[in-house]
Amino acid sequence: MNVAFACPRCEQSVRVEVPEGAAAIACPACGGTLSVPAGAFHDGRLERCLVCPSEELFIRKDFSQRLGVSIVVLGFAVSCVTWYLYLPYWTFGVLFATALIDVLLFFAVPNCLNCYRCDAQYRGLAGLDNHDHFNLETHERYRQQAIRLREAEAAAAKRSRQAAN
């Protein structure tokens, strides 16, 4: 299994091969180790993140969202030009070709597993499709929690600076 994550110690983005059943993950950037939480695997299925203790994981296509949106925007822009030039067959041809590219990529690109909390990405797992898809409510809960933690840290730093003066 291939794991891409931001090391909590050195904050470097790293990618490592982790054998199933490993007790620890070594960061190639700083040399630190992360212990794999107990119960991370159940019946050969990843049940919790190996980097953080979160049990909320989701599957998504292992494809760049920027590239996907760029393909759609390019198709739309070209179709606007052909529509402006009064070429309706070319316009619809471009739109259908863009949709066909999207469908082909959907079936050709494999899935990867992501963690909502730390955004670790897991590739090459068996039983990957048994996980849930992206849930906006869960994502928003983790996003808001991260914002509140940053605000609390900033407020604590401000209080410590004021106390030092």
Instruction: Measure the CA–CA gap between 64 and 19, rounded to whole angstroms.
Output: 26
Instruction: Measure the CA–CA gap between 23 and 141, rounded to whole angstroms.
Output: 30
Are 7 and 15 a contacting pair, CB within 8 Å? no
At 16, phi and psi to the nearest 5? -135, 155
Q: What does the pLDDT read at residue 92?
A: 97
Asked whether residue 11 is domain-assigned, the answer is no
Q: What does the pLDDT read at residue 97?
A: 97
Q: What does the pLDDT read at residue 144?
A: 96
Asked whether residue 114 is domain-assigned, the answer is no
Q: What does the pLDDT read at residue 82?
A: 97
Q: What does the pLDDT read at residue 52?
A: 87
Asked whether residue 159 is domain-assigned, the answer is yes
Instruction: Measure the CA–CA gap between 115 and 124, rounded to whole angstroms.
Output: 15
Query: Taken in order 97, 99, 103, 105, is the CA torsion positive or negative?
Result: positive
Q: Residue 46 has which token pair? A: 């990843």
Q: Provide the 3-class DSSP secondary structure of residue 122.
A: strand
Q: What does the pLDDT read at residue 128?
A: 81
Tally the domains of the chain: 1
Are 4 and 121 a contacting pair, CB within 8 Å? yes
Instruction: Measure the CA–CA gap between 142 and 52, rounded to whole angstroms.
Output: 13
DSSP H helices, 38-64, are none
Asked whether residue 47 is domain-assigned, the answer is no
Residues of the domain holding 158: 135-165
Q: What does the pLDDT read at residue 99?
A: 96
Asked whether residue 142 is domain-assigned, the answer is yes
Please tell me the pTM assigned to this model: 0.81
DSSP 111: E
Per-residue pLDDT of the chain (165 residues; tens, 9 = 90+): 899 999 988 889 999 998 877 888 988 988 888 888 887 887 778 888 999 888 999 999 999 999 999 999 999 999 999 999 999 999 999 999 999 999 999 999 999 999 999 999 999 887 787 889 999 999 999 999 999 999 999 999 999 999 987
Asked whether residue 70 is domain-assigned, the answer is no
